[in-house]
Structure 1
Amino acid sequence: MKPQDVTNTPGEHAIFMVFGLRDTKDAPTIIKDLCADFSAVARSMRTRLPAAAISCIMGFGADAWSRLFPQRGKPNELEPFKEIKGDRHIAVSTPGDIFFHIRAARLDVCLEAASIISAKLQGAVYPIDEVQGFRYYDGRAIIGFVDGTENPEDEARLAAAVIGAEDADFAGGSYVFVQKYLHDMDAWNALTTEEQEKAIGRRKFNDVELSDEEKPENAHNAVTNIEDEHGNELKIVRANMPFANPAKGEFGTYFIGYAGKFSTTRKMLENMFIGEPVGNTDRLLDFSTAATGTLFFVPSAELLEELGED
């Protein structure tokens, strides 16, 4: 099964849209019509604007999946995200039924794709959240550090992001978890560069990882480094993007992680928000607040088209 474009790089621009599913008679038919036509949206735009590198991804929350496709069963790890509450930090759980991740080299192309999708969904959904992300300097987060350095590459990238034979009915699909983080930039900028580097676990200028002797146990890249019972490092594929509204003093990171197993992503979150051992929470959370948190299933390209025929 061919995946949707879950392993693509973050891109120059992105739009993330989360919708709720209306309780109307026509809503399922409208959603399924889009499933059938979804690949054609990006394909048409790629034909007209090949240099724009457009890609579009569609996913479903657990409740929406059960309502729309009850005869299909459910992916092994698809369920509403359960809040993770530590002593000091909370990974909140927020609603969401349908999710879209649109990427392109140009913002106007992202906006056209978002407009087409939204028009096709009229009457079936209501908006919950929309974020426009942008590339910041040389792929940095708004806090000044390069983002996505730990992403796997080549075949390992596909293995990390895509469901395999362990859940054969949904092979080629992916779990995508999204969080909108808001940063306290005044507090962050009050730190010295050295203090910021210890919070992240990397050098700010050249992105070189700190040595084990230099890196604190609560550095961001230390707490999110997890292994299985055999000592093999577990990875996800991140496509994070900065966003901002300077007039409102709002600066943030839209975290988006694709994984073949959501349990991998959840373990990383537990390490961040609760700590391993308990209390060793991610230092970055002292400056970053998770305002949203929602899990979606992204069907393979073939399954998505089949859903339109149900």
Structure 2
Amino acid sequence: MAREQLGICAEANLHGSYLLCTVLDGQEAVMRYKLARILQLVERLSEHFSEAMLTAVVGISHHYWDNLYPWQRPANFQTWPDLSSEHVSVSFTMADLLIQVRSDRQDVNYIALQQIYQLIHGHVEVLDQLSGFRYLDGRQLTGFVDAPLNPRGPLKRKVALIDAKVCPIFAGGSYVFFYRWLLDHKVWSQLSTQQQEAIMGYAKLDAKPGLASGHEHSHLGCWEAAHAEGGLILQQNMAYATLQLQGAISLNFTADSSALTTYWQQRFAVHADRIADPLLDFCQLDLAAAFFVPSLSFLEAAARGDFRAP
């Protein structure tokens, strides 16, 4: 039975750390070995710091996958669709690897990142190192409860992880869209609570869905429409902030790559009969990229050389 990367369906943590890396030329063989070692390393640290609830996720980008694992490609593994318009822009990153570390202790994240970097130093170039945090009682920096429609309990695994009956070789894997979104906090904070709730589609205090006219065109309404069309995803979001920038770092996981496209087409109103997510009027999507998160079983088998190109 495939062993999935535990960071995919893990419960929310207090701290998140993210590395976006490019792999240096000619390092494919050694990186096949070291990607499996990263997760083994984190498992050992998780046992040592058991109270920290440490987990990790290692993803390989759409454009780099064939360099690393040329013998097999996840079905319909696609790049992030170009949904930019005159109203909303998306900035992409050319990172080959995404490494996420989350725990309830910032010092444990630091220890894990240091050991991961020591393991892959000399084989990769780090493009970005980002940090996220849990804000208040699980809210966005908009002040609203984050992702109220997120799958919970056993449904998380069903939504996020590929079933062995669908694709045995990639069982336990997951498609993921990674992105950072930056909030125009100054403009957002000038809106009244009533105006913000109309945009979000649910109450700021307790996240109860709004019943007002036009709810279907709210941020929550876009989620509901995407879910109705098969765009069911698992979101992992953490607040991101510096003195100058405010927003979030988000990972959207799914067992079906088309669900990601459906979800984002709905939010960007690709179809003429749709209204774009009004929250996007206050956001810029930054550092976006598509990755695949293979199971630990797949990574370990590839490291051993168990797979061969046909």
- TM-score when scaled to structure 2? 0.91
8 Å CA contact 2:139–2:145 kept in 1: the answer is yes
| 1:165-204 paired onto structure 2 within 5 Å | 165-204=165-204
1:274 Cα shift? 3.0
CA distance 1:177–1:146, change in 2 (3 Å) = same
**5+ residue gaps in structure 1?**
none
**5+ residue gaps in structure 2?**
306-310
Q: For the residues of structure 2 that align with 1:224 and 1:205, how far apart are their CA atoms?
A: 19
Match of 2:256 among 246, 252, 261: 261
CA distance 1:79–1:276, change in 2 (3 Å) = closer
Question: Corresponding residue for 1:210?
Answer: 210
Q: For the residues of structure 2 that align with 1:173 and 1:36, how far apart are their CA atoms?
A: 14
1:304 Cα shift? 1.5
Moved more, 256-265 or 219-228: 219-228
SS of equivalent to 1:239: strand
Q: Give the counterpart letter for 1:295 in structure 2.
A: A
Question: Corresponding residue for 1:8?
Answer: 10
CA distance 1:261–1:92, change in 2 (3 Å) = farther
8 Å CA contact 2:20–2:126 kept in 1: the answer is yes
**Does residue 41 of structure 1 match 2:38?**
no
8 Å CA contact 1:9–1:239 kept in 2: the answer is no
Match of 2:276 among 268, 275, 281: 281
| 1:92-111 paired onto structure 2 within 5 Å | 92-111=91-110
Q: Give the counterpart letter for 1:99 in structure 2.
A: L
CA distance 1:32–1:116, change in 2 (3 Å) = same
1:95 Cα shift? 1.2
8 Å CA contact 2:226–2:262 kept in 1: the answer is no
The superposition leaves residues 16-70 of structure 1 with CA deviations (integer Å, 9 ceiling, x where unpaired) of 21111111x3x22331221332332122212221101100111101232201111
The superposition leaves residues 72-93 of structure 1 with CA deviations (integer Å, 9 ceiling, x where unpaired) of x100122332321234213343
SS of equivalent to 1:166: coil
SS of equivalent to 1:151: coil
The superposition leaves residues 230-262 of structure 1 with CA deviations (integer Å, 9 ceiling, x where unpaired) of x5764211110001101xx21111121111012
% identity of equivalent residues: 25
Q: Give the counterpart letter for 2:196 in structure 1.
A: Q
TM-align CA RMSD: 1.8
| 1:18-29 paired onto structure 2 within 5 Å | 18-23=20-25, 25=26, 27-29=27-29
CA distance 1:275–1:222, change in 2 (3 Å) = farther
8 Å CA contact 1:35–1:307 kept in 2: the answer is no
Q: Give the counterpart letter for 2:183 in structure 1.
A: H
- TM-score when scaled to structure 1? 0.91
8 Å CA contact 1:90–1:273 kept in 2: the answer is no
Q: For the residues of structure 1 that align with 2:269 and 2:78, how far apart are their CA atoms?
A: 21
**Does residue 242 of structure 1 match 2:244?**
no
Aligned residues: 302
8 Å CA contact 2:266–2:274 kept in 1: the answer is no
